[in-house]
């Protein structure tokens, strides 16, 4: 273990880490030590060894999420936890704020679970604001209580980051019993999210984004209030039933067979994260975001996301120079790099540069110089 941590320390330094290949908003590059951790021999999941692994990761996950409650670890992608949150926390009505493709997905999941859903549309490329939440919730409350609201912290489709701390405060001011459910799929691990302090009842995320793990695991910080609610909600299913997960978590295990290899990877990556230092990690993400925004402006592009609410983990650049993003990516591929096209309707109208997970300044320098060479070849 000590050796792995040592290797981790070295790996966070710009000079010794492999050059970043993926500047897409997930999956992101995974450090060699983390990839390697997956190749260890299997162990039984009802063993002392697995329970120790689970307990160690649980403690670190809670620290990273700034919560004293619990963080469930589930073998599914983040979308599974969209469904889990709805099935466990919503018996009656849920208000879903939609300002992009992933908040729309969470809304669609709630509809798919046959809940009573109030949809509140917020312009894409704009953040969900606490005032909008307060007004929409007050309006919804006229027709009866609201069990929960859903909001996406970092809309990966647009590169907008919504102020979830202030949103949670707004919810509490209008309807203290309404649960606050936050998707932090593309921000957790790159941005400080203080689950308990901010009063987030559900904070869910996936492994393959800013945590820089392989896809396949998802994590969910859940408050006591949610468990209390879940005990009164029917139709929770089994696999994602928080009460099942809680019972197992108390015994440092999962109800069904866990993804042991992925959990080994998780353990090594959590060590690496704490070796780097969480504040340093968050500062690195902030610095890379600012640098990317500045670069885009200097190159004559515009930024698509609303000012003051731009993502810290990815930057969405409006394609004002009308370049071919397909050709750009073909050019970058020759140097083993890749960025993302605009999402859905923004295809070719925008492109997205992710700067999350393992990315360091030297990676951005390499990407920007390749992009500048491509741009020069176009003019």
Ligand X SMILES: Cc1ncc(COP(=O)(O)O)c(C=O)c1O
The reply on whether position 109 binds ligand X by CB under 6 A is no
The reply on whether position 150 binds ligand X by CB under 6 A is no
The reply on whether position 75 binds ligand X by CB under 6 A is no
Radius of gyration (Cα) for the chain, nearest Å?
Answer: 21
**Shortest distance (Å) from residue 101 CB to ligand X:** 8
Provide the CA 320 distance to its chain's centre, in angstroms.
28
The reply on whether position 83 binds ligand X by CB under 6 A is no
Other C-beta atoms closer than 10 Å to the C-beta of 234 total 6
Alpha-carbon distances of 18 from 11, 266, 271, 355, rounded to whole Å? 8, 19, 18, 15
**Shortest distance (Å) from residue 43 CB to ligand X:** 26
**Shortest distance (Å) from residue 118 CB to ligand X:** 20
Among 37, 118, 160, 185, binds ligand X (CB under 6 A): 185
The answer to whether 151 and 182 have CB atoms below 8 angstroms apart is: yes
**Shortest distance (Å) from residue 65 CB to ligand X:** 16
Site string for ligand X, 16-55 (x = CB under 6 A): ----------x-----------------------------
Nearer to ligand X among residue 330 and residue 345 (C-beta) = 345
> What's phi and psi for 218, nearest 5 deg?
-140, 160
Tell me the HSE value of 14 on the side-chain side, using a 13 A CA sphere.
Answer: 9
> What's phi and psi for 306, nearest 5 deg?
-55, 135
Q: Give the chain's end-to-end CA distance (angstroms, integer).
A: 52
The reply on whether position 77 binds ligand X by CB under 6 A is yes
Joined tokens for residue 54: 């689970």
The reply on whether position 128 binds ligand X by CB under 6 A is no
Among 12, 78, 182, 227, binds ligand X (CB under 6 A): 78
Contact window for ligand X (CB under 6 A) among 135-143, 152-160, 256-264, 349-357: 152-160
Contact window for ligand X (CB under 6 A) among 75-83, 121-129, 189-197, 336-344: 75-83
E-state strands within 89-183? 93-98, 116-121, 148-152, 154-155, 160-161, 179-183
The answer to whether 128 and 96 have CB atoms below 8 angstroms apart is: no
Nearer to ligand X among residue 123 and residue 372 (C-beta) = 123
**Shortest distance (Å) from residue 98 CB to ligand X:** 12
The reply on whether position 301 binds ligand X by CB under 6 A is no
**Shortest distance (Å) from residue 329 CB to ligand X:** 18
CA-to-CA distance for 26 and 120, rounded, in angstroms?
Answer: 27
Residues that bind ligand X (CB under 6 A): 26, 77-79, 102, 152, 154, 156, 183, 185-186, 206
């Amino acid at each position: 273990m000590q050796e792995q941590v040592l290797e981790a320390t070295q790996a966070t330094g710009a000079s010794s880490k492999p050059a970043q290949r993926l500047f897409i908003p997930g999956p992101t590059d995974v450090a060699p030590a983390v990839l390697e951790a997956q190749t260890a021999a299997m162990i039984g999941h009802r063993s002392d060894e697995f329970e120790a692994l689970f307990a160690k990761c649980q403690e670190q996950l809670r620290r990273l999420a700034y919560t004293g409650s619990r963080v469930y670890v589930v073998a599914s992608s983040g979308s599974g936890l969209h469904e889990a949150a709805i099935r466990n926390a919503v018996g009656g009505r849920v208000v879903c704020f939609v300002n992009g493709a992933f908040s729309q997905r969470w809304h669609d999941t709630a509809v798919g679970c046959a809940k009573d859903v109030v949809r509140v549309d917020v312009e894409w490329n704009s953040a969900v604001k606490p005032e909008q939440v307060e007004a929409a919730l007050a309006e919804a409350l006229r027709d009866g209580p609201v069990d929960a609201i859903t909001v996406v912290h970092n809309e990966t489709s647009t590169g907008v980051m919504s102020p979830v701390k202030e949103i949670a405060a707004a919810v509490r001011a209008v309807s203290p019993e309404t649960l606050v459910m936050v998707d932090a799929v593309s921000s957790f691990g790159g941005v400080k999210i203080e689950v308990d302090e901010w009063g987030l009842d559900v904070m869910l995320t996936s492994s393959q984004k800013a945590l820089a793990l392989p896809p396949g695991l998802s994590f969910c910080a859940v408050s006591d209030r949610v468990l209390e609610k879940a005990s009164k909600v029917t139709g929770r299913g089994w696999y994602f039933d928080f009460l099942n997960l809680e019972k197992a978590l108390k015994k440092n295990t999962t109800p069904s067979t866990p993804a042991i290899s992925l959990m080994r990877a998780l353990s090594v990556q959590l060590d690496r994260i704490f070796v780097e230092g969480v504040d340093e990690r968050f500062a690195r993400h902030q610095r890379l975001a600012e640098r990317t925004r500045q670069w885009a402006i200097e190159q004559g592009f515009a930024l698509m996301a609303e000012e003051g609410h731009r993502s810290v983990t990815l930057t969405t650049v409006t394609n004002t120079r009308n370049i071919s993003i397909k050709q750009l990516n073909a050019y970058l591929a020759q140097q083993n790099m890749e960025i993302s096209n605009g999402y859905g309707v923004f295809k070719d109208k925008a492109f997205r540069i992710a700067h999350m997970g393992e990315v360091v300044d030297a990676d951005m320098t390499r990407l920007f110089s390749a992009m500048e060479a491509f741009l020069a070849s176009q003019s």
